[in-house]
Amino acid sequence: MIKIILSILLYSFCCYSFANDFCSDLSKKAEKEQAYIDHSMNIFKVVSKTRLYFNSAPIEQCKINNLFLVNGDVVSGYTTLNGYLFASYFKKNGDSVDGWLKLSDLKNTGYTSGPSSDEQTVFDIIPDIIKKNKLTTAPEECINISGDDTDNKYYKFAISKKILEKCKDVQFTPFSILVKKGNQEVYTNQGDEIDKFHPIE
């Protein structure tokens, strides 16, 4: 009986390891083959009546079981491959979730999450602000910056880690940066609670 249980556990472990290697290899391949979408229409809404799961690679076998969206959720899309969209979902606390989603369960809204011209100017200096204030030790190629121009007083930027194979082992805690419109005073919640911001240079 013990031998049978051990055999089952060993088989399960082997299958799990194989699945992880398969999805990891496929993710690397996708980075080279993916096609970028039109940034002027990169906002998609979930139309699936059931849970829409994120995938670590553009194939159903690489589903992330505890990561899903529901009908009506909105994501920003970046690239496509094999009927899947690589997209980011931004939570209310500023954190983001990235992964591959089935395109057939999404509807293109025709809108964009791209920055306005004024926001673009601020957006361009965010990497320097992060570096100057040493807000993270993550390499620049692993940092994802998403801008929001909808607030009346501040430009809001969600800073998160890109889901790339080379960034897998990078330690990163998501945070936000606020830039005050008009005088460009800069604030961040890095190192503090989510809703507690302090000034930086």
What residues pair up with 75 in beta bridges, in sequence order?
A: 44
Task: Write out pLDDT tens, residues 121-134.
Answer: 777 888 899 999 99
Domain layout of the chain by residue ranges: 2-108, 117-200
Read off the pTM: 0.52
- Encoded tokens for 23: 């999805």
In the three-class reduction of DSSP (H, G, I as helix; E, B as strand; rest coil), residue 145 is classed as: strand
- From residue 98, how far is each of 51, 57, 77, 153, 161 by CA, in Å? 16, 11, 10, 28, 9
Residue 105, pLDDT above cutoff 80: yes
Residue 60's pLDDT is what?
94
Which segments within 39-91 are labelled E, that is strand? 43-46, 52-55, 63-69, 74-81, 84-90
2-108 homologous superfamily: SH3 Domains (2.30.30.40)
- Could you tell me which of 36, 37, 35 has the C-alpha nearest to residue 111? 37
CB proximity list for 15: less than 8 A, separation 6 or greater = none
Residue 82's pLDDT is what?
94
